[in-house]
Structure 1
Amino acid sequence: MKHRLPVLVALGFLSQGEASDTFRNPINPSADPWIGYAEGKYHLATTQGDRVKLWSAKTIAGLKDAKPVTVWERGKGVWAAEFHYLPTRLGKRWFCYFTKTDGEDVDHRMYVAESKTHSITGPYGEAKLIKTDPKNEFYAIDGSVFEHGGKYYFMWAGHPGHRIFMSRMKDPFTLEGERVLIPASGFGCEEVREGPYILKHGKNLFLTYSACDTGKPDYKVGYLWMPEDKDPMKPASWTQEPEPLLERNDAGEVFGPGHHSFFKSPDGKEDWIAYHGKTVKEYTYRGRSTRVQKLEWDGDGFPKKIVPLPLEAEVAVPSGEK
């Protein structure tokens, strides 16, 4: 079933007199953003290379100048950290999931660290390896967690190939049962599927992901969707949306937008997307920075196509922040 993705109109350009109610992107000079709202603040993690850092602020604009907390360090190729608030025998705790390697890129695996307190800022315990296949032979990056029907699931990008896999979770550290490959379109750019992230809206689940090589200007976001009464572990449950959700905007000088996450506004009324993009068409991993903008929904409860905003755009702050 094909759903049209009407163009998301820019969020509006406000006058200088209303500057306190707007901000400008980027909000961080790095890539692979995760943003959540908890404890009365926004919390942001981006790829740092050798550690996990978390920026926290009461406003989106405040994240630009916030002093980060180092959650974990002593690694190589540390990418794409995410934070999830999950149940344990001692109540809910924050868990930080991230990718690292002790050597070559092919040796990247998924790790998780648990907060020693109820706060997202930690401190966190030692990171533990997540076995994403029985012998732990395969490359694994970009891990993400979601809940559905009272059960928890783990998604990641892995080998063979560079594709999206899913598994049930026994607990925040452990997967159970066989992993399942979830086929996803590359929209003509076939080499990579990565950065899976679940978005829930109404009675549907949307499995969003990035396609193409992140260094290319055609890096983009697509999605599959399924009704909430289906089993996410069955590939047949998912329907591929034929058009990208987010892709380059040449007129706005935004190239390679992707590796995203979604978060709620402070009042819970709006959905927002965080993603990285760059301002050059060249095949390069440099210059990727974190941007955010509002996500809109159509009358059928599907996400409208997102046109990435140029950096000079004045963006209205999320609802509940004013």
Structure 2
Amino acid sequence: MFKLLLIAALAVVAICQGYSPPHNSTNSTTFTNPIINEGADPWMFRHGDYYYLTYSNNVNVTLFRSKSLTDWDGAESKLVFAPPPGMNYSTDLWAPEIHNLDDNWYVIFTADPRNDSPPPEIEMWCDYNCPAVHHRMFVVEGKGSDPWEAEWEYKAELDTYDQFAIDGTYFQHADQLYHIYSCWHRKYDGWPANLCITKMEKPWMVSSPFSERQIISVPEYAWEKTPFGRASNDRLSSNEGPQQLTNPTTGQQFLIYSAARSDNRNYCLAQLELVGDNPMNPGDWRKHPYPVFYQNPSESAYGVGHASFTTSPDDSEAWIVYHGMRDPTNGWGARTIRAQKFGWNEDGTPNFPKPGYGPYEVPSGQ
């Protein structure tokens, strides 16, 4: 659950605005994974002639852009937000996402005030070790139509009722904006990590009181727990990294989220489908009983999760961008960023491939 990277190595990388992320092998017709050799929690989107990418680096929010979905050699980079010291959002910046809402751009990200290390007088309240007890969700606003030229400034902390919150995302349905994030039942639980949903009045303002917050998914299946099938307690059982995915043909709404633990070979993607009209009603969500994207030992592709979704340059193909690891014994520091094409099943659900390294055909129109 706790997405610590190798801080010493990545901090230098992230602070340098001119940095071009390590890249894969790409030619005119094929590419191989990973597309970036260091990184986790990738968020990629298309706007105009460019693909844009950001991911966890612990210290700031850096945005990259490339005209290729799979080739980031020489990609331009820009520092979007670097927090000042001494704030509640100064350290451990995780899982940034950039969304276009109301004609402006919004970065939603996770952070904490003290490098994931609460004082003993706080942590003693937790049933389990809970270093992330002070993690919360924050928003940076970018004014302007172009994310590269936008004027960025810190906007607000999202209200998560003074409780643990990571991996927040925006979910849009029927002209209503929602905040979905990884949460605990209570302030000092430590485990399990669940999926919570609240209504939003604005991209930086939650409108639901605590009494209306809903938990729409908890780790209930063997594959959502670490070690696999853990029966003794809920420690390390996680639902996190939620992402909205819409079938462009049928309009079906899915929430693709990560389960188990992100430094572990068992990390995988799971699926909720909105089968009713009210995302705030847990009964309107249907959980798939099996993971929909998971490790592929035959190709040494482990710990695959925390995905985002985009399309090929000609809009004819759907693509998943995710992180994974080749050597799961090295934990968080082993994660790299990959991309693969996916399709749709006859029932309208996404049909994800087995994770691997390729070579694969480059996206159509690239």
TM-score (norm 2): 0.77
Residue 295 in 1 paired to residue 295 in 2? no
Deviations 1:208-250 (A, max 9, x none): 11001101100000001123x5211111011111111111100
Q: 1:318 to 1:187 in 2, by over 3 A?
A: farther
Q: Following the alignment from structure 2 to structure 1, what is the Cα–Cα distance between the partners of residues 330 and 75?
A: 31
The gaps in structure 2 that reach 5 residues or longer are: 1-24, 84-89, 117-131, 186-191, 226-236
**Alignment-derived partner of residue 157 in structure 1:** 182
Q: Which among 233, 242, 247 is matched to residue 196 of structure 1? A: 242
The structure carrying a bigger strand percent of its residues is: 1
CA distance in 2, matches of 1:251, 1:192: 25
Task: Note the alpha carbon deviations across 1:53-84, whole angstroms, 9 max, x for none.
Answer: 11100012332431311111133100000011
Q: Is the 8 A contact 1:263 1:272 kept in 2?
A: yes
Aligned residue in 2 for 1:183: 217
Partner of 1:8: none
Q: Contact conserved, 1:185 with 1:240, CA < 8 A, in 2?
A: no
CA distance in 2, matches of 1:305, 1:124: 35
Instruction: Please list the CA deviations of residues 69-125 of structure 1 after superposition, one character each: whole Å capped at 9, or x if unmatched.
Output: 1111133100000011001xxxx1011111111113221110111113221123311
What runs of 5+ residues in structure 1 fail to find an aligned partner?
1-15
Asked whether the 8 Å contact 1:130–1:173 carries over to 2, the reply is yes
Q: Which string of whole-angstrom CA distances, capped at 9 and with x for unpartnered residues, describes residues 236-285 of structure 1?
A: 01111111111110011111000111112222222111110000132611
The yes-or-no answer on 1:207 pairing with 2:218 is no
8 Å contact kept, 1:184–1:224: no
Q: Does 1:36 align with 2:64?
A: no
Distance 1:146 1:320, change over 3 A: farther
Tell me what 2:203 maps to.
Answer: 172
Whether the aligned pair in 1 keeps the contact of 2:279 and 2:285 (CA below 8 Å) is: yes
Match of 2:364 in 1: 319
Give me the whole-angstrom Cα distance separating, in 2, the residues matched to 1:305 and 1:295.
5
| In structure 2, distance between residues paired with 1:195 and 1:64 | 27
Q: Aligned residue for 1:129?
A: 157
1:85 partner amino acid: N
Change (3 A) 1:55 1:186: farther
1:66-145 to 2 correspondences below 5 Å: 66-74=75-83, 75-87=90-102, 92-103=103-114, 104=116, 105-121=132-148, 122-133=150-161, 137-145=162-170
In structure 2, distance between residues paired with 1:108 and 1:123: 26
Q: How does 1:161-310 map to 2 (within 5 A)?
A: 161-177=192-208, 178-185=212-219, 187-188=221-222, 189-190=224-225, 191-201=237-247, 202-227=250-275, 230-282=277-329, 284-310=331-357
Structure 2 CA distance, aligned partners of 1:319 and 1:112?
34
Distance 2:109 2:310 in 1: 18
Does the 8 Å CA contact 1:186/1:192 hold for their aligned counterparts?
no
Structure 1's consecutive aligned runs of 4 or more residues displaced over 4 angstroms after TM superposition are none
Give the secondary structure class of the aligned counterpart of 2:133. helix
Task: Find the counterpart in structure 1 of residue 122 from structure 2.
Answer: none
Return the offset for 1:184. 4.2
Say which is worse superposed, 154-163 or 178-187, in terms of deviation: 178-187
- CA shift in 2, pair 1:187/1:305, >3 Å: farther
Distance 2:73 2:178 in 1: 32
- Relative distance call for 1:186 and 1:26 in structure 2 (3 A) is farther
Q: Secondary structure at the match of 2:278?
A: coil
Q: Distance in 1 between matches of 2:327 and 2:220?
A: 22
Q: Please, which moves more after superposition, 76-85 or 97-106?
A: 97-106
8 A Cα contact 1:184 1:240, kept in partner: no
1:58 to 62, 67, 84: 67
Q: Structure 1 residues 268, 79: CA separation in 2 closer, same or farther (over 3 Å shift)?
A: same
SS at match of 1:286: helix
Q: Residue deviations 1:126-146, cap 9 Å, x none?
A: 24211122xxx2011111112
Partner of 2:188 in structure 1? none
Query: Which residue of the partner structure matches residue 54 of structure 2?
Result: 45
Amino acid aligned to 1:144: T
Separation (CA, whole Å) in 2 of partners of 1:176 and 1:64: 42
**Cα RMSD, aligned residues only:** 1.8
